[in-house]
């Protein structure tokens, strides 16, 4: 279709340029993800209610964008692509439910501390699924970044609760997110990013809807201010953040983004200090410096440079 080719030529030029710098997109996505906790801090409704509206607002947005994407590109996802999207969406929805339930059972500190284990979970899955085995230097610098993230989290702690059920849910939350993340990388060869995110958010929305329906969460009582926050979360970290983080996954190794995302607690704390006036201590800054040094060390190590290099199979993806 010559007309479709003329319409997509400028887009292809941009995607080719960005494809040669995938870490810029992953880093930008990390910054956008850091805005999520700051937005949630300004909401007055419960986590499940906020998640319900954030997911379904996102589903409406991504559904419209999927129609535009299919119309412009001429590519319609097949059954295999939708299956990958739905599977990843269920894992993402389970991650959100475990995350919210863990916070209710224990403390934010406990759950956030478990979150810094994501690179380890992803590393195990990446070794099994993709055969990724980074070198010792990459792993050691990853541990430095994890240690820095732990310092940042503990800097704002008032004392972890340590409830056994809550801790188990916190671990399950990280495990489900690792499954979602690795599945997202696998899905990139079967479905374009926009329809993938649409299918993912719909599947997650169905799962969260079943949860709020079973628990009787008052989803209909949300006010305009909280609805605006849910919409902002759906757009900024929800769509833009996930898009710029998911699209380059075929071009970087699975081990790299989770290590970069260890900077999220420090970035979120900095944004909360700047936008909400929340206090930031010297320990926050020390932990942030350690985290950034660890992330830089992993990316600059021989294995990090190799894993971050755009892969030779980049041309095998649908081309979105």
| pLDDT for residue 265 | 79
| pLDDT for residue 193 | 94
What residue segments make up the domains of the chain, in order of their start? 29-134+160-252
| pLDDT for residue 15 | 60
| pLDDT for residue 17 | 59
| pLDDT for residue 311 | 52
Name which of 180, 200, 43, 170 is nearest 125 in CA terms. 180
Find tokens 């944004």 and name the residue. 271
Specify whether the backbone of 311 is left (phi greater than 0), alpha (psi in -120 to 50) or beta.
beta
| pLDDT for residue 279 | 74
79 burial type by CB count under 10 A (0-12 exposed, 13-18 middle, 19+ buried): exposed
State the Cα–Cα distance between residues 172 and 159, nearest whole angstrom: 21
State the Cα–Cα distance between residues 244 and 54, nearest whole angstrom: 18
Which residues in the chain land under pLDDT 50?
1, 3-5, 7-8, 158-160, 312-320
135-155 b/e with 16+ CB inside 10 Å = b?
eeebbebbebbbebbbbbbbb
Q: What are phi and psi of 90, to 5 degrees?
A: -65, -40
CB 244 within 8 A of CB 184: no
Look up the pTM and report it. 0.81
| pLDDT for residue 52 | 94
């Amino acid at each position: 279709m010559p007309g479709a080719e003329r319409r997509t030529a400028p887009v292809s030029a941009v995607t080719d340029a960005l494809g040669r710098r995938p870490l810029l997109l992953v880093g930008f996505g990390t910054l956008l993800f850091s805005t999520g906790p700051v937005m949630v801090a300004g909401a007055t409704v419960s986590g499940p209610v906020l998640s319900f509206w954030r997911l379904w607002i996102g589903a409406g947005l991504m559904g419209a964008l999927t129609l535009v994407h299919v119309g412009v590109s001429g590519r319609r996802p097949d059954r295999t692509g939708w299956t990958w999207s739905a599977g990843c969406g269920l894992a993402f929805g389970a991650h959100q439910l475990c995350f919210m339930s863990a916070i209710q059972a224990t403390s934010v500190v406990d759950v956030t501390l478990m979150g810094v284990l994501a690179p380890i979970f992803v590393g195990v899955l990446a070794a099994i699924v993709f055969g990724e085995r980074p070198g010792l230097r990459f792993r050691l610098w990853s541990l430095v970044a994890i240690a820095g993230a732990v310092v940042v989290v503990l800097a704002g702690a008032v004392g972890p609760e340590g409830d056994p059920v809550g801790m188990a849910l916190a671990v399950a939350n990280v495990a489900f997110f690792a499954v979602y993340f690795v599945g997202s990388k696998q899905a990139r060869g079967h479905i374009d990013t926009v329809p993938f995110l649409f299918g993912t958010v719909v599947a997650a929305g169905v799962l969260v809807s079943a949860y709020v329906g079973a628990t009787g969460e008052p989803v209909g009582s949300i006010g305009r201010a909280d609805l605006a926050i849910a919409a902002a979360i759906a757009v900024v970290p929800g769509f833009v953040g996930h898009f710029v983080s998911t699209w380059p996954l075929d071009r970087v190794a699975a081990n790299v983004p989770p290590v970069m995302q260890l900077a999220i607690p420090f970035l979120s704390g900095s944004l909360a200090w700047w936008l909400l006036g929340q206090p930031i201590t010297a320990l926050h800054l020390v932990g942030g410096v350690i985290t950034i040094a660890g992330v830089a060390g992993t990316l600059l190590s021989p294995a990090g440079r190799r894993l971050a290099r755009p892969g030779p199979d980049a041309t095998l993806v649908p081309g979105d």
